[in-house]
């Protein structure tokens, strides 16, 4: 397990694509079970290890995930996420040449439980979804973009990229044609939070997976 940050209050790790953050049946491995096992072994803790999940990623997405090691830290961090005071930066490889190269997308999205996905809706229907993007480089007819997530809706980046005509590599659920060998080409690159006790800013940066180099000059 790749550790990005660790102290008595926080644990930040890199989630590989293909692994659920949490929520599977007992006995099935998730990022949460791996992290608890890491804490248990490192500190020789008896009994159940407490870790509060304060950020999570879709199964095919890689990148930085933050856990709280105390309930007080979890409550304070959850409040930061609720009030959108956390900075969340992603990178994505998308199909198409985005124009304009920098913009803000504001859409309304709604869960489609029957098809286990999310769809764009008319303004005012569902929940508002906002992000800012800028193009880092173009490779042929495709683009590497940096995304600042302003809201944290389910599948938000995936459905907004696809809805604007730029599906993420490997994301067949949302119409991508480009095959990606390791999940989808969406990575939670940087996460900046206020430490729950010291109140100083902490920037967590998860290295971009090596497989991306096959598709883009990083």
Q: How confident is the model at residue 216, as a pLDDT?
A: 80
**What's the whole-model pTM score?**
0.93
Give which of 80, 156, 63 is closest to 117, Cα–Cα: 156
pLDDT(217) > 80: no
Q: In this prediction, what percent of the chain has a pLDDT beyond 90?
A: 82
Q: What is the pLDDT of residues 119-133, one digit of tens each?
A: 999 877 889 999 999
pLDDT(139) > 80: yes
If one counts the domains in the chain, the total is: 1
Bond preceding residue 27 cis, omega within 30 of 0: no
Domain of residue 11, CATH code? 3.30.2350.10
Q: Sign of dihedral through CA atoms 50, 54, 55, 60?
A: positive
Domain that holds residue 120: 3-214
Write the DSSP symbol of residue 211: G
- When pLDDT is cut at 50, 70 and 90, the band that residue 45 belongs to is confident
Top pLDDT among 72 and 45 is at 72
pLDDT(218) > 80: no
Q: How confident is the model at residue 137, as a pLDDT?
A: 92
């Amino acid at each position: 397990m790749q550790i990005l940050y660790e102290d008595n209050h926080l644990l930040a790790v890199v989630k590989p694509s293909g692994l659920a953050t949490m929520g599977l049946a007992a006995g099935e491995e998730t990022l949460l079970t791996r992290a608890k096992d890491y804490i248990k072994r490192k500190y020789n803790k008896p009994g159940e290890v407490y870790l509060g999940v304060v950020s999570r990623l879709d199964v095919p997405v890689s990148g930085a995930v933050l856990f709280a090691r105390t309930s007080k830290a979890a409550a304070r961090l959850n409040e930061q996420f609720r009030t959108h005071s956390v900075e969340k930066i992603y990178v994505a490889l998308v199909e198409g040449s985005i124009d304009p190269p920098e913009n803000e997308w504001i859409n309304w999205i709604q869960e489609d439980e029957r098809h286990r996905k999310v769809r764009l809706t008319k303004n005012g229907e569902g929940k508002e979804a906002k992000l800012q993007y800028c193009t880092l480089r173009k490779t042929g007819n495709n683009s590497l973009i940096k995304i600042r997530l302003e809201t944290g809706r389910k599948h938000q980046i995936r459905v907004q990229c696809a809805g604007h005509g730029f599906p993420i590599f490997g994301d067949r659920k949302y119409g991508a044609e480009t095959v990606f060998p390791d999940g989808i080409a969406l990575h939670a690159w940087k996460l900046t939070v206020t430490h729950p006790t010291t109140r100083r800013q902490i920037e967590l940066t998860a290295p971009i997976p090596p497989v991306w180099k096959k598709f883009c000059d990083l």
